[in-house]
A and B are shown apart, each in its own frame.
Chain A
Amino acid sequence: KAGVTQTPRYLIKTRGQQVTLSCSPISGHRSVSWYQQTPGQGLQFLFEYFSETQRNKGNFPGRFSGRQFSNSRSEMNVSTLELGDSALYLCASSLGGAYNEQFFGPGTRLTVL
């Protein structure tokens, strides 16, 4: 099976712009989660989608949003970018149950100038 893919891998934006990141989960996986990783805050949960519904949300401002399509692919959007949004954004997919391991993609490295 192909792994989790994320596009783009690298992105440079300026403050105030918006960005959309994409994640394609492993075939058959219905759960997609997003995480932000920074040197200062570590790995933090953004949100999780399951069958096109947001099932869980972390403590991030409303500028961070996401969605999931019927084929389980997911996108996350960050509007009005701030310097502090520079991070590695990781997407993970799983079957969706409570005891399922999550499979991570390689991440999108976002730099905000």
Chain B
Amino acid sequence: SQQGEEDPQALSIQEGENATMNCSYKTSINNLQWYRQNSGRGLVHLILIRSNEREKHSGRLRVTLDTSKKSSSLLITASRAADTASYFCATDAIGAAGNKLTFGGGTRVLVKP
């Protein structure tokens, strides 16, 4: 079963526009991570935000985390055609032994040139 739900399921934007996607999860977490996947390939780690952090930036990426609402958002600014991919949030639950990421269903992003 999936921990999180991602919204929207798909997003189509023009190059240069911003893309925002949201993730909701169900249980208390240690941290939340965002990954990108290009067309059936392996996942690329984008950013990790700890449960005691509210916002984090990395280049054109901005992630927010609201643990009271059990939700996170990923903003990609000034999008490029190369940002076309599926984006997944992943959480690991407090109390779980070791690494066990639970992924959301993903948001498919299409950036049109």
Name the one of B30, B41, B100 contacting A56, with C-beta atoms under 8 angstroms: B100
How many chain B residues sit at the interface, stated as a range, is 20 to 34
A102 touches B42 (CB 8 A): no
Name the one of B42, B48, B99 contacting A90, with C-beta atoms under 8 angstroms: B42
CB proximity to B under 8 Å, residues A66-84: none
A107 touches B103 (CB 8 A): no
Name the one of B41, B100, B104, B105 contacting A45, with C-beta atoms under 8 angstroms: B100
Report the count of interface residues on A (CB-CB < 8 A): 30
Point out the residues of chain A lying under 8 angstroms from B33, CB to CB.
101-102
B50 touches A42 (CB 8 A): no
For the A-B complex, the count of residue pairs with Cβ-Cβ distances under 8 Å equals 75
CB proximity to A under 8 Å, residues B38-68: 40-45, 48, 50
Q: In the complex, what's the smallest C-beta–C-beta distance from A101 to chain B, in angstroms?
A: 4
Q: How far is the CA of A58 from the CA of B96 in the complex (A)?
A: 12
Q: How far is the CA of A89 from the CA of B65 in the complex (A)?
A: 29
Q: How far is the CA of A92 from the CA of B45 in the complex (A)?
A: 11
Point out the residues of chain A lying under 8 angstroms from B14, CB to CB.
none
B44 touches A96 (CB 8 A): no
B residues at A contact (CB < 8 Å): 1-2, 30-31, 33, 35, 40-45, 48, 50, 88, 90, 92, 96-106
